[in-house]
Every structure is written in C-alpha cells, then in structure tokens.
Amino acid sequence: MATTILVGAQWGDEGKGKIIDVLTDRHDIVVRYAGGNNAGHTVELGPEKFVLHLIPSGILRRGKVCVIGNGVVVDPVALVKEIDELEDRGVAVGHGGGAKLLLSETAHLVLPYHRSLDEQREAAKGSGRIGTTKRGIGPAYSDKAARTGLRVIDLMKPERFSEKLRQKVEENNEILKAFGAQPLSFEEINASYLEAGKRLRPFVANTVVYLHEALKKRKSVLFEGAQGTFLDIDHGTYPYVTSSNTTAGGACTGSGVPPHRMDTVVGVVKAYTTRVGEGPLPTEDNMIGDLLHGLGREFGATTGRPRRCGWFDAVAVRYAAMINGIDQLAVTNLDGLDTVAKIKMCVAYKAGGRTYETIPNDLDVLKQCQPVYIEFDGWLGDTSGAKDFDDLPKKARGYLKKLAALTGTKMSIVSIGPRREQTIVL
C-alpha cells in the first residue's frame, strides 16, 4: 500500500480510529486532513482505551510519523492537552523512539471566540440546531473562508499573532454582545495561546514539502478521514453537516498531496447506522438504539451523547462509495448485531409515491423518505472471537455478502470487536 485514504462512509463514528490503527502497521506516515477536535477516534489496546481528537490515531504505534495537515482546524490549547495526556499514559509524542508528530504551519487556529459563537448560534437556533460538538469548528472554517483566520504560522510569530488577535477579539466581542453573551479577554487568550504556541513550536513544519519528500523516498502514507461522508459540507445532509470536506477529495486539499498520487480509498461503515446530533437519519429505529445503548455501546467519544441508531442503509453507503471512490470496504461492529433476531437492511426509499435508489438532496424529501427494507434472520451467536471469515456464522456471512453487493463495494476488513486482534482481513 503506497497511499491510502480512509474515510467514514456514513455519519461519522464508523470505527475509523480502530481501522486506522490496524492499517498503520502497513504505512509509514498517518495524516489528518480535515476537521478538528470535533472528532473522537477510539483505539483499544488490550485493557487500555485511547480517544484521539486532533492527533492521528497512528501515534500509538512506534516509529511512525503523524501529520496534522493544512486542512485541519487546530485548537492549540486542546492539542497541547492531548499531547500531555498521551505522554502521561506512556505514549511518547515527538521524541524517545515513539511516533513523531508534525503540525502544518498553514493549518487554521480555533480560538475561544469560535467556541462561544458556536454555542451562541446553536442556542439561537433552538429546535433548528445542528447539534454541533461546540468545539468552534464551524466559526473557525468560516473565518478561513472569509480570509480572516489566524494560522499556526501566525502563532509562531508572537508579535504578529497578538496584533491580529487583539483586532479579532474586539470584533468578535461585538458579535458576542449582540447575542447577549460574555465578552472575552484578549489578555487571557493571548497568554494561553502564546504558551501553547511555545510548546508546539518543535512540531511545526511545512508538511506539504515533508509529505512530497517522503513520497519521493517511497514512504507509504495513510490519510485519516474524520467525521463521515454525510457530514461533508458539500455532499452531506446540509445544513446538518460539519464545515469541512470529509470525503476523499478533502485528503488532497487538506494535505497538499495531488489526486494522481492516491492509490486506494478505504471506506469504513458500521454493520448498522449511527448518527450523533440533529438531521435526517432515514433508517433510525429505537429498538436497535435501545438494544445497543443497553449494551453500553454507542455513546459519543467526544461529547458522551447517546448516538441515534438505525439499520444499515445501503442506499446511503452506495452513494458514499460513488463520492469517495471506495475501493475497499471495512465493516465494523458486526458483533453489535449478534443478539438481534430479525435484522433489516434498507435497499431503497419511498416518498410521495416515488422510489429513490439514491439519497435525495432535498432535505424535505429526505425527511419524508420511508426506507424499503429487506430482512435477514439473525445469526444469534457470538462473533467477537472469529479469526477468519469462515469462522463467522453462515447467516452473518450472508448478511455481509449482501451488504457488499448492494453497496457495490469489495469488502476487505470485517471488525468484530474494538481491539486490534478482533479484525478479519479478507
């Protein structure tokens, strides 16, 4: 594998962190290219559970290089905290034979006024809220697009940073006042950000040049997608989306590696569907949600919110396979269906007397869509110890084969538990 893009092919939380950890073994470099600390990528190693937010999940394997690319929005205080927490748990970041971290100098910064604005805008929307993670992601990308953002490269020049920051805080305090919210202190933000900037300085690099030099040396690179296809700002269920291009194209713009250097796209899906936050979820079903929550599963890795759950949606994933150009599909959480007697899979939608075989862009139509299901008898057995595909119950194999056929994908990985060894590579 020379270069691999890994994307979520549903609404996020597909198990990308776990699959990244598995695939990191076969790559030299892991790159985050979009999103920020709205992401929560879980990797379980034996009894230890790590949740990565900004740092690529490859950090848990020694000798790898982890890159936070230009497309990511970075809260530097949160990043320092994440580094410290990893180091406290014995994961070396950037020295001592552990994995090495690089931070793009052109990545945009998330500032406290972005978080406050995120919160205020959500509150103002009331029942029309998006259900964001309140990490300031939308406002930070808004500043980037408006060409008024502050970047890592600014933070590396304290005087320039403070000058720009003073202006930005003044401007944003006026907006916050209009919302009736507390204004923020320039001095406090300035001090904490400059302190974080000092800590991050050794990691800051021109990561575009670094990646191109690494590719010239035939290093293999894994691009770690965050969020999921239907949270993409262009291709998702707008406006119930995040503010970046989470899909495969984002790996190019968010890292500076051109399209013709990309070899493989791996899409990750759960064997069912989850979504956290508001917005349409055609196959939502409380029965499966109650069952999974009862097992202590499907609570958000970043916010702890219970995730909404539903049946596998082959219409949506077929669309995701098209948008991302998915070459290989990784199906996670198959074991989540181990105790379900009748399993459903959505093969089309019906709305207003019409049948849809692709996900409609008009949210009013999508909200009316009723899924057309096919049903499977459950396998009613424990899959979590399976070592290869043939170890799986026949009915589980049938379910997976149908899932691949209906989504037009080639299945390459089946995951039957959160740990590394609970992975079947086909």
The amino acid at 12? G
Answer yes or no: are the C-beta atoms of 357 and 348 closer than 8 Å. Answer: yes
| Cβ nearer to ligand IMO, comparing 12 with 250 | 12
Q: How far is the CB of 246 from ligand IMO (least distance, A)?
A: 8
Given the structure tokens 């199906």, which residue do they identify? Answer: 331
Which of 27, 41, 108, 114 is labelled catalytic?
41
Binder to ligand GDP among 40, 250, 267, 371 (CB under 6 A)? 40
Q: Which of 113, 335, 376, 413 binds ligand GDP (CB under 6 A)?
A: 335
Q: Pick from 35, 112, 267, 417: which binds ligand GDP (CB under 6 A)?
A: 417
Q: How far, in whole angstroms, is CA 118 from its chain's centroid?
A: 19
Is 327 a catalytic site residue?
Answer: no
Give the 3-state secondary structure of residue 279. Answer: coil
Q: Which of 23, 130, 3 is closest to 412 using CA atoms?
A: 23
Q: Are 328 and 407 in contact (CB under 8 A)?
A: no
Is residue 426 within 8 A of residue 330, CB to CB? The reply is no
422 binds ligand IMO (CB under 6 A): no
- Asked if the bond preceding 239 is cis, omega within 30° of 0, the reply is yes
The C-alpha atoms of residue 380 and residue 374 are separated, in whole angstroms, by 18
Least distance in Å: CB of 119 to ligand IMO? 11
Binding status of residue 41 toward ligand GDP by CB under 6 A: yes
Interaction between residue 360 and ligand GDP (CB under 6 A): no
Nearest distance from residue 300's CB to Mg ion, in Å? 7
Binds ligand IMO (CB under 6 A): choice among 277, 282, 336, 418: 277
Asked if 135 touches ligand IMO (CB under 6 A), the answer is: yes
The CA-CA-CA angle for residues 383, 387, 388, to 5°, reads: 95
- Of 24, 38, 162, 245, which one interacts with ligand IMO (CB under 6 A)? 38
Amino acid identity for residue 276 in this structure: V
Say whether residue 37 binds ligand IMO (CB under 6 A). Answer: no
CA distance 112 to 168: 11
Question: For ligand GDP, which is the closer residue by CB, 300 or 398?
Answer: 300
197: which residues sit within 8 A by CB, 6+ positions away?
76, 155, 156, 158, 161
Q: What one-letter code names the amino acid at 147? A: R
Please state, in angstroms and rounded to a whole number, the distance separating the CA atoms of residues 46 and 328: 27
- Rounded to the nearest whole angstrom, what is the least distance from the CB of residue 138 to ligand IMO in the complex? 5
Question: Under rule CB under 5 A, which residues in 301-330 are in contact with Mg ion?
Answer: 301
Q: What is the torsional sign of CA 423, 11, 225, 83? A: negative
Residue 4 vs 227, nearer CB to ligand IMO: 227
Residue among 13, 75, 118, 285 flagged as catalytic:
13
| 272 vs 199: CA distance, rounded Å | 41
Only one of the segments 68-76, 84-92, 225-233, 314-322 lies at the binding site for ligand IMO (rule: CB under 6 A); that segment is 225-233
Q: Is 40 in the site for Mg ion (CB under 5 A)?
A: yes
Shortest Cβ distance from residue 236 to ligand IMO (Å)? 9
Rg (CA), the chain: 21
**For residue 44, what is the enclosing H or E element?**
strand 41-45
- Minimum gap (Å) between residue 122 Cβ and ligand GDP: 21
Binding string to ligand IMO for residues 175 to 214, with x set by CB under 6 A, is what? ----------------------------------------
- Which DSSP letter does residue 305 get? P
Q: Which of 103, 137, 150, 414 binds ligand IMO (CB under 6 A)?
A: 137
Out of Mg ion, ligand IMO, ligand GDP, none, what residue 18 binds, judged by CB under 5 to 8 A for its kind, is: ligand GDP
70 phi and psi angles, rounded to 5 deg: -65, -25
Residues 44-103, interacting with ligand GDP (CB under 6 A)? 44
Asked if 399 contacts 350 with a C-beta cutoff of 8 angstroms, the reply is no
Sequence-separated (6 or more) residues with CB below 8 Å from residue 365: 351, 352, 356
In whole angstroms, how close is the CB of 5 to ligand GDP at the nearest point? 14
Residues composing the chain? 426
Among 4, 15, 79, 308, interactor with ligand GDP by CB under 6 A: 15
Of 15 and 371, which has the nearer Cβ to ligand GDP?
Answer: 15
Active site residue 154: no
Question: CA geometry: angle at 269 spanning 265 and 274, to 5°?
Answer: 140
The footprint of ligand IMO (CB under 6 A) covers: 8, 12-13, 38-41, 130-133, 135, 137-138, 226-228, 231, 242-243, 276-277, 301
Residues that bind ligand GDP (CB under 6 A): 8, 12-18, 40-42, 44, 301, 332-333, 335, 415-418
Residues annotated as part of the active site: 13, 41
Site for Mg ion, rule CB under 5 A: 13, 40, 301
